[in-house]
Amino acid sequence: MPVATDFEFIKFTFDELALVRSLNDNDLFHLIIQLDHKYNDLIRLFSLYRTKRTALTDQMSAEMEGNIGTSILSTDEVNQFKPRMVELNSIISPVRKHLKKDLKESRFTLESLHETLKKSKLTDGNIMF
């Protein structure tokens, strides 16, 4: 079973960027571009993690109970897989470390965009998190 589904990269259209730029808020524009880069980097990391994790787990047998698999490895097998396990941890650890901060920044950016669009009378709706 895949670790995560396939996600598409964000690719802003010229019209979308022009709309944000027309709001005359350079700080907001840069926050949105940063959010775009962070999201796309995160997608790349999850894709790499999924590929490497699948390559590792495909080499292991497992006793399955529903969606939970249990593998019992000998010491030699553990030693064989350890470098790949360390590699996987090195990919996902920074993501986990920065996740709360990135979530706060994303929320702030989206709330700022929403408020700016409301002030510009480009939306009268609400956003919910």
Is residue 40 within 8 Å of residue 10, measured between CB atoms?
yes
Q: How far apart are CA 54 and CA 117, in angstroms?
A: 43
**Max CA separation in the chain (angstroms):** 65
* pLDDT for position 31: 94
* pLDDT for position 29: 95
* pLDDT for position 129: 65
* pLDDT for position 5: 66
| pLDDT digits (tens), the chain, 129 positions | 555 567 788 888 899 989 999 999 999 999 999 999 999 999 999 999 999 999 999 999 999 999 999 999 999 999 999 999 999 999 999 999 999 999 999 999 999 999 999 999 888 777 776
Q: In terms of Cα–Cα distance, which of 12, 28, 34 is closest to 119?
A: 28
Helix axes 26-57, 14-22, angle to 10 degrees: 140
Chain CA centroid to CA 8, Å: 11
Examine residue 128 and state whether it is found in any structural domain, yes or no.
Answer: no
Examine residue 99 and state whether it is found in any structural domain, yes or no.
Answer: yes
Examine residue 5 and state whether it is found in any structural domain, yes or no.
Answer: no
Examine residue 8 and state whether it is found in any structural domain, yes or no.
Answer: no
Q: b/e string for 6-33 if b means 16 or more Cβ within 10 A? A: eeeeeeeeeeeeeebeeeebeebbebbe
Tally the domains of the chain: 1
Examine residue 3 and state whether it is found in any structural domain, yes or no.
Answer: no
Domain with 40, as residue range(s), is 14-62+70-119
Examine residue 51 and state whether it is found in any structural domain, yes or no.
Answer: yes
* pLDDT for position 6: 74
* AA letter at 118: K
Examine residue 6 and state whether it is found in any structural domain, yes or no.
Answer: no
